[in-house]
Chain A
Amino acid sequence: MSKHQYAMVMDLNKCLGCQTCTIACKKLWTDRDGTGYMYWNNVETRPGMGYPRQWDRIGGGWKNGQLQPSPLPTMDDYGHAWEFNYEQRLYEGKKKPVMPSPTPTSGVNWDEDVGGMNGEENYYFYLPRICNHCTYPACLEACPRKAIYKRDEDGIVVLDQERCQGYRYCIKACPYKKIYYNEVTGKSEKCIFCYPRLEKGEVNACAAQCPGRLRFVGLLDDPESPVHKLVLVHRAALPLFPEKGTQPNVFYVPPFNPPKRGSYDKSILEDPRLPLDYLIYLFGPEVRDVITRLEAELKSAQRGGRSELLQLLIGRDAETRYRIKPELVQIKL
């Protein structure tokens, strides 16, 4: 375990699905040769297939201390890049409609806003995803080259491009499929939690750009940090798929939409808009307690009380949402 651990909390009740985070990350880190299909940050509609398609069902992670097998996702799962025939339409005067080719069959955010049905009501929410900078990273354990390491000073999991030989055991082992292979360089790549920004006291690009202001960043072990308060004090945020055994350090405030139409005064869990089973699938059984706690805070605020938790979750300013203090994690040489 590292001396300190950076963590991120994302409040799913506030995500607009605008993909600003995705683009911020892409422009900053993955606008190079071989990185077109890489989304170190992606935002997927849930329920839905995710990116790569069905990543949550293909394997990896830990069981009884053993890495679990998994195939590599294929380009069919990520979606093949397509081009539009603008040349024909705009320059060659062909009166053809602008069409993509090859015919798209999948892609990042492919099933946006499709969601699912709960009775006659449609429901969905957005799930932004980055590497979880896990406490027990399956990716790290799987790499025979020891190219992946967890930074002792801040717990960020990074992949050394010098040591990597492109074997892709890490991609198989990661149960979140948050490592991508760059065929141009012959090496794998992953989210670096914007450590060069953090080292300068700047928050991660995805968080800085988020108009929904739903990302909270700080050290999990720093009692002053918003992530410490949300995860450990208020116990209002949960990791995704805790049973995969890697102990993620990205946490989610579960969506707690009001009850279904016509159930105005009922509690959220009495007639949930989002089927509880699905939330349990994503966040484990503890999600029920978290939603109950959040609802109680909400009710008390509605009665005129002041909820420290809700004030924190509103996260009006950057000082509330982030606590990035490079001096807290400096290694004394």
Chain B
Amino acid sequence: MRTNRVTLLLVVVLATSTIAGAQAGKAPAGQTLNATSLSATADVLLNDPALWGQVSAHRISLNRTPPLYDTDEPASLEIPVLEVRVARAGGKVLVQMSWADPTHDSAALPEVPNTPPETRFRKLPTEADDRFFDAAAVMFPTKPGAVTPSLQMGDTDDPVQIYYWNAARGPMLMEAAGRGTTRRTGASFAAHAANEKGRWTVAIELPDLPAGTPLAFAIWNGSQKDRDGRKYFSVWQVLQ
């Protein structure tokens, strides 16, 4: 059991150095994501894919986290690129993420009735225990003007906000202050998602973030059993 802890630690150290390597590597670590200012309201922009045509796309390369746990097999890089568009509208920052994913891992989960289960003859079933859903997230530091936090869900001194969207469960606002500390806040946010011809397009509404805010992106591919730190991630980008 001790060996296992050591292995895990080693993997984490390796992962960290890979990420550090990527940041210090030849290509610039992240890109500057220029936000296009639009006159439409945030609400309209969020729900109208046509309006996004006016916003230029940034192609951001994705990495896979190294295998983290003994229980799961390694996964390959099937989604190398994420297209990101950023706009400012109605005092909000809006981000549209778009990526090719031939496997559409989603489901319409039944709505839980608000009557107590003991008063109902029929309870909702668990339809499947082994499926994972596609998801996407944007992460940024909680404190404005903070130094760039660790890519691994921030640090104790530099917590992060995670705007997480799940194909079956919808948007959930999360926060974290280091690896393994991510938690749902219970709050939600506005989001719009579409899946067409093997491509996801997910637009989400962020608060009014100042220029210079670091943004990092993550994608989960359900059919690759992605969840938790088993995912695709980008290095930090900078909002302008």
Show the binding face of A for B, using Cβ within 8 Å.
31-38, 60, 62, 64-75, 78, 81, 136, 141-142, 144-146, 165-169, 171-173, 180-184, 186
By beta carbon, the residue of chain B nearest A184 is: B124
Q: Which of B4, B70, B128, B227 counts the most chain A CB atoms within 10 A?
A: B70
CA distance A34 to B169 in the complex (A): 15
Given the contacts A141-B1, A146-B180, A75 and B68 also touching, CB distance less than 8 Å? no
CA distance A66 to B129 in the complex (A): 25
Chain B residues positioned under 8 Å from A66 (CB to CB)? 3-4, 7, 70
Chain B residues positioned under 8 Å from A166 (CB to CB)? 227
Contact code string B109-135 (vs A, CB < 8 Å = 1, else 0) = 110100001100001111111100000
Q: Is B71 an interface residue (CB 8 A)?
A: yes
Given the contacts A167-B227, A169-B69, A32 and B123 also touching, CB distance less than 8 Å? yes
Q: Is B229 an interface residue (CB 8 A)?
A: yes
Given the contacts A73-B129, A75-B129, A172 and B71 also touching, CB distance less than 8 Å? yes
Q: Is B73 an interface residue (CB 8 A)?
A: yes
Inter-subunit contact A67/B127 (CB<8 Å): no
By beta carbon, the residue of chain B nearest A162 is: B183
Given the contacts A34-B123, A35-B123, A70 and B71 also touching, CB distance less than 8 Å? yes
Given the contacts A62-B1, A141-B1, A69 and B73 also touching, CB distance less than 8 Å? yes
Inter-subunit contact B180/A145 (CB<8 Å): yes
B43, chain A: closest CB distance, angstroms: 28
Chain A residues positioned under 8 Å from B123 (CB to CB)? 31-36
Chain B residues positioned under 8 Å from A182 (CB to CB)? 126
By beta carbon, the residue of chain B nearest A75 is: B128
Inter-subunit contact B4/A65 (CB<8 Å): yes
Inter-subunit contact A74/B180 (CB<8 Å): no
By beta carbon, the residue of chain A nearest B129 is: A181
Q: Is B197 an interface residue (CB 8 A)?
A: no
Q: Is B196 an interface residue (CB 8 A)?
A: no
* Interface of chain A, main secondary structure: loop
Inter-subunit contact B126/A144 (CB<8 Å): no
A100, chain B: closest CB distance, angstroms: 15
CA distance A144 to B69 in the complex (A): 9
| Residues 189 to 239 of chain B near chain A (Cβ within 8 Å) | 227-229
B143, chain A: closest CB distance, angstroms: 25
Pick from B109, B129, B229: contact of A144, CB under 8 Å: B229
Q: Which of B128, B182, B229 counts the most chain A CB atoms within 10 A?
A: B128
Inter-subunit contact A165/B117 (CB<8 Å): no
A79, chain B: closest CB distance, angstroms: 12
Chain B residues positioned under 8 Å from A144 (CB to CB)? 68-69, 180, 228-229
Inter-subunit contact B228/A33 (CB<8 Å): no
Q: Is B26 an interface residue (CB 8 A)?
A: no
CA distance A172 to B69 in the complex (A): 11
CA distance A75 to B127 in the complex (A): 8
Chain A residues positioned under 8 Å from B129 (CB to CB)? 37, 72-75, 78, 168, 171, 180-181, 183
A133, chain B: closest CB distance, angstroms: 17
Inter-subunit contact A65/B71 (CB<8 Å): no
Inter-subunit contact B109/A184 (CB<8 Å): yes
A-B contact pairs, 27 of them (CB 8 A): A31-B117, A33-B112, A33-B123, A35-B123, A36-B123, A36-B126, A65-B1, A66-B70, A69-B70, A71-B130, A72-B129, A73-B129, A74-B128, A74-B130, A75-B127, A75-B128, A81-B125, A142-B70, A144-B180, A146-B180, A167-B227, A168-B130, A168-B227, A169-B69, A180-B129, A181-B129, A183-B127
